[in-house]
Structure 1
Amino acid sequence: MHGRTLSGISLASRTAAVIVFYEPDEACIRRANRLSERLFCVVVDNSASIRDKSQIGLSAAITYRPNGVNLGIAAAINQGVEVLLPAGFDYAIVFDQDSEPPDVLLHDLPAVLDNANRMQQRVALAGPAYDDARLGGVTPFVRFRWWRLARISPQGNVPIDVDFLISSGSCLNLKFWTSIGPMENALFIDFVDLEWCARAKRLGYQVLGVPWVHMNHELGGAPVRVLGRTYPMHSPIRHYYQFRNVIALIGRANMPGTWKSTEIVKLPVRLLIYCFFPKQRGQHLRMALRGICDGLRGRLGPYQE
């Protein structure tokens, strides 16, 4: 038995973790091994080399899927879920390789989904609030509104209906995975979780933020401060994916108009901050503009020179 849940019944035997690796260091391996002592774990490795799990120090209890190439976050999550579905798991918590989840996350997120299932509520995903000290602490949950985001403080003991959760630390309700469909491989990395949440909401499912569960998570690289506000910074290649995917998704009729309006407002601000404030400004600008061009052309998938 693994601790408490909201329903009073242990869910550990029906809950698994999907961890996505990309060139992991020893600390990543240790984190995965610790997690495997609590939950069944599938590690999907997008690193360039293919090695046996014993070679990199992974526990024998972990199911290891090395790809030998970076297939992107969407494909890796999908591969992990494809292992769990035939094995009969009900819930899958997704983690980046640097995620350090608290015990309450492992207990209470699947419990929230289990409680929703018993009440015949269609909840696709439950996730924590994210604590990034570099960006000012615990970040609010969001709902899409015209031309802005409504930010909801993560307080209280009742799950909050939201429009979007980042994938790391969130718990998938596998009961609805097939009807919603997998993550979109072609997006590769950025906005993968947003597209999936928007799709789930469009199909009538809920996405719940769980305000009493917090997870330390660094959103992006070292942030920059502009006019009193702090913005997470990324590498030039990540800016390619960000600008490409947001342009591609804005062009889709099935994405929420409210979300599109907020992105149209933020796009020039992002371009200004991400491309003119960091070092290597020319490289950031070049990759962002290439992303915009490829997004307009509908060119998705992994970046190609």
Structure 2
Amino acid sequence: MDETSVGDPAGFDRSAVAAGVVLFGPDRARLTALLAAVETDVGKVFAVVNGRIDAELRAELRQRPRLGLIECPVNFGVATALNLLALAATLDGFPRLILFDQDSRPAEGLVARLGARFEELARAGRNPAVVGPLMVAPSRGAAYKSPRLFRRPPAGAGTEAGAAVAVDVLATSGSLIALEAFCRVGKFRDDYFIDAVDVEWCFRAWARGYSCWIDRDVTMIHTVGEGEIRIGPVATPRQKAFRMGAYVRNTIYGFRLGHVPARFKLRQAAYLPMQALLFWVDSGLRPSVAIGLGRAAWAGLRGRLGPPAGAPDV
């Protein structure tokens, strides 16, 4: 078998993989569908409840024999929740962890296919830290911003392995992580709280000798926010103001980090103001939104991170 071909997913040991889900006020039907899709594909599922959950749903989750529930009294943020999932899986002896949002919609066999790809990349000496699916926007319903594919330059033999392509960054949702690599790279930054958490971590992984990959043969429907705001080629997710503020703040703070390449900083420096302007226009040009985004940018410049203004506590 060619070293860059996909291994046999049927031969992949799915029991060596734990799944992790971050919950915050989840929709019961969507969460139930997610759990049904992944529980039989992994050794165990861990779920972090970030403060708020329906009492009946909590009781139902506690009854699921293959689910470990981690309950937080308040909203600690996505980054801390992801770190708790990685810690729980590591302490339980799992070498791999696949992460999902509470609204993720993985296709059947996703875990095994990503696992087989991960092993092929490792055998080929690519030292992967994480392998994820190609994210696609839903084909029906409201329009969502299609996730971007940040290919690792330069393109060529060193950044491709069959259908797998090396990328600068990829979303945490649907990503299969080697927990040994996670321990060496370090945890997600708790002070980022939410948004750009995955961006910073992936660049740190590259800086420490690991690689990040997307398997274009494996797709997963993915949505961010509540739709898309678009004017011509510029688009940004329609989302709550505190999330947009966190994105602006964390992106600007990332300009200070040495492990984030200059080419990525320049691209973001050009694109971020246009995204912020789109968000403000979509808000009806409300002065409070412009002030909030300005304060978020200033916080990023000063390195004032932590829970963003307006983030729900529970």
| Contact 2:9–2:112, Cα closer than 8 Å, also in 1 | no
Aligned ranges 1:72-221 → 2 under 5 Å: 72-133=77-138, 139=147, 141-143=149-151, 157-221=162-226
| Contact 2:129–2:178, Cα closer than 8 Å, also in 1 | yes
| Contact 2:121–2:161, Cα closer than 8 Å, also in 1 | no
Compute the TM-score of the two structures, normalised by the length of structure 1: 0.87
- Mapped partners of 1:289, 1:226: distance in 2: 21
| Contact 1:161–1:209, Cα closer than 8 Å, also in 2 | yes
Q: In the alignment, residue 261 of structure 1 is paired with which amino acid?
A: L
Q: In the alignment, residue 17 of structure 1 is paired with which amino acid?
A: A
- Mapped partners of 2:121, 2:153: distance in 1: 26
- Mapped partners of 2:235, 2:143: distance in 1: 6
Q: Deviation per CA, 1:160-204, whole angstroms, max 9, x where unpaired?
A: 111110111111012311111111111011110000000001111
Runs of 4+ in 1 over 6 A off after TM superposition: none
Aligned ranges 1:1-305 → 2 under 5 Å: 6=8, 9-34=11-36, 35-39=38-42, 40-48=44-52, 55-57=59-61, 59-133=64-138, 139=147, 141-143=149-151, 157-227=162-232, 230-279=235-284, 281-304=286-309
| Contact 1:161–1:208, Cα closer than 8 Å, also in 2 | yes
Q: In the alignment, residue 13 of structure 2 is paired with which amino acid?
A: L
- Mapped partners of 2:153, 2:122: distance in 1: 28
**What is the aligned-residue RMSD (CA, Å)?**
2.7
Residue aligned with 2:173, SS: coil
| 1:136, distance to aligned residue in structure 2 (A) | 7.7
User: What residue number does 2:3 align with?
Assistant: none
Compute the TM-score of the two structures, normalised by the length of structure 2: 0.85
| Contact 1:49–1:69, Cα closer than 8 Å, also in 2 | no
Unaligned runs of 5+ in 2: 1-5
Which has a greater percent of strand?
A: 1
| 1:136–1:32 distance in 2 versus 1, CA, 3 Å | closer
| 1:257, distance to aligned residue in structure 2 (A) | 0.8
| 1:18, distance to aligned residue in structure 2 (A) | 0.5
| 1:7, distance to aligned residue in structure 2 (A) | 6.4
- Mapped partners of 1:82, 1:184: distance in 2: 14
| 1:93, distance to aligned residue in structure 2 (A) | 0.8
- Mapped partners of 1:137, 1:5: distance in 2: 32
Unaligned runs of 5+ in 1: none
Aligned residues: 295
Q: In the alignment, residue 260 of structure 1 is paired with which amino acid?
A: K
- Mapped partners of 2:275, 2:58: distance in 1: 43
